[in-house]
Structure 1
Amino acid sequence: MSSKTSPPSRGAGLYALKPWYAARLSGIRTALARRGVSPDALTAAGVVCAAGAAAVLARLPAPYAALPVAVLLAARLAFANLDGALARDTGRTTRRGALVNELGDRAADLIVLAGFLTLAPLWLVAVAALAATLPSWISLAGAAAGAERLNGGPVGKTERCLLVVVAAAVPGWAFGVLAVLAAGSALTAVIRCARLWRSL
């Protein structure tokens, strides 16, 4: 698993809450380590939760979709936090695990947005999906160049999940939420790129 431990910085958005959230999950992490659960299994569980949220979003109308989508996306974020932390706690950080972690995160992002295919035009879902991946690609490119791994955003992973819950809660908001998600993700990518350019 990758460590994903770069400290929160100004403009990190909800990502700044990650240390607090990780502390809340410490008991679960200890229990998982005691039972020998694989960090990769947690990454896979996060993808499954993302798929469940997408299915609910696509099949249930707002606002009935809101609660199950919120629960499934909260679980998706929890697994995204636990996989790397468990790998570090148990000394099982590997390069393959880091690859699985990154692929799992990107897959989960795209799968969740696929749930909008029944709610919004294909072109808008595709634009939002592309924009949602840009901040991560910028961060990975910066890390490959020797910079710190940037996280958070105005619209990072946590904010994207929150926006999906809003779309699941309010009838007729899917189009607007996707537009905000796409624009916010693009802005986050630009901000990260500018920060990386200054630091290199």
Structure 2
Amino acid sequence: MNGLYALKPWYAARLAGVRGALARREVSPDTLTAAGVVCAGGAAAALAWLPSPAAALPVALLLAARLAFANLDGALARDTGRTTRRGAVLNELGDRAADLVVLAGFLALAPLWLVAVTALAATLPSWVSLAGAAAGGPRLNGGPVGKTERCLLVVLAAAGGWAVPVLIVIAAGSALTALLRLGRLWKELAA
């Protein structure tokens, strides 16, 4: 059920050198969180303003950077002993903001109601995971349409001009991901 999230340890290992360089330069993990949101904004702008398929490359590069920053911020905080509760909150808010900002790029390409429904659905898996963690359960990640899969789907929309079908897949897949996480969490909390 982990989807592309299963690649996170492999990906984190590839970023080890970058983390080391950032640590030596004493870059704040919070700066990386903010950089991820900025990259999401750039991807949204490219999606909205560039024609398909010209939008695909900038969207792909900016979303790859957004995912790298999302991986690096927490890892850098752990590596340098700078984990804080405020940083954890900022990390979660930054991830949700980046998700919503990327989806805002679809406002130029699809009906407002569909973008709004998709934005709501895309946040559901995180709500479930955060509620579970607040209840003392594990912080669940991954699923059929998690953060990484949503980014990949946005790149497909940028490449093919398939805004409406991609939004439908993101909305339905995110709702399914939330339900699967809730099912896992329900079992965990019953034990």
- Give the TM-score normalised by structure 2: 0.98
Kindly indicate whether residue 26 of structure 2 is the aligned counterpart of residue 36 of structure 1. yes
1:186, distance to aligned residue in structure 2 (A): 0.2
Aligned partners of 2:142 and 2:31: how far apart in 1?
24
1:72, distance to aligned residue in structure 2 (A): 0.1
Aligned partners of 1:139 and 1:52: how far apart in 2?
27
Identity of aligned residues (%): 82
The CA deviation string for residues 43-75 of structure 1, in whole angstroms up to 9 with x for no partner, is 000000000000000000110000000000000
Kindly indicate whether residue 124 of structure 2 is the aligned counterpart of residue 146 of structure 1. no
1:90, distance to aligned residue in structure 2 (A): 0.3
Q: 1:128 aligns with which of 99, 115, 118?
A: 118
The CA deviation string for residues 98-117 of structure 1, in whole angstroms up to 9 with x for no partner, is 01000000000000000000
1:32, distance to aligned residue in structure 2 (A): 0.2
Structure-to-structure mapping, 1:50-129, within 5 angstroms: 50-129=40-119
- Match of residue 183 from structure 2: 194
Aligned residues: 189
- Match of residue 156 from structure 1: 146
- Give the TM-score normalised by structure 1: 0.94
1:93, distance to aligned residue in structure 2 (A): 0.3
* Structure 1, unaligned runs of 5 or more: 1-10
Aligned partners of 1:183 and 1:77: how far apart in 2?
22
1:164, distance to aligned residue in structure 2 (A): 0.1
* Structure 2, unaligned runs of 5 or more: none
Kindly indicate whether residue 144 of structure 2 is the aligned counterpart of residue 175 of structure 1. no
Aligned partners of 2:188 and 2:85: how far apart in 1?
25
The CA deviation string for residues 18-41 of structure 1, in whole angstroms up to 9 with x for no partner, is 000000000000000000000000
Give the CA RMSD over aligned residues: 0.4
**In proportion to residue count, which structure has more helix?**
2
